[in-house]
Amino acid sequence: VGQTITVNTVTDRSNLSTISIPLKTDEDSTSFILINSSVSEDDGAETGNLDTINFSYSRIEDFLSRGCGFIVNYDELTANVTADTDNWIQDIEITQSLVTNSDSTHVKIFH
């Protein structure tokens, strides 16, 4: 949401059971539009059942070194789905509200 390009960390029309998506490092929230049963129209537009997921968090800057600089960790992670008449995402579970690495599961999305 709010970007001019599609995030390419998830393969289009895939049946993956696990994905990694980036959180913004310069804002305290990030939103994504996920499409179920997506189809490309003749004009290139993506259609299907769209759900918007909103993530909120506080950012913690951590100084690594002079060469590497700072990294951003996230704390107090919360998530919700924007309600509409046909949500395909049924529930979101935060399994770890402190995000300090990308090697473990932090959020589970049930559909």
**pLDDT tens-place string over residues 12-61:** 677 778 888 889 999 999 999 988 888 888 887 778 899 999 999 999 99
Structure tokens at 43: 């004009």
- For 70, residues 6+ apart whose C-beta sits below 8 A from its C-beta are 61, 62, 63, 64
Instruction: Give me the mean pLDDT over the 83-109 stretch.
Output: 91
pTM of the predicted protein model: 0.83
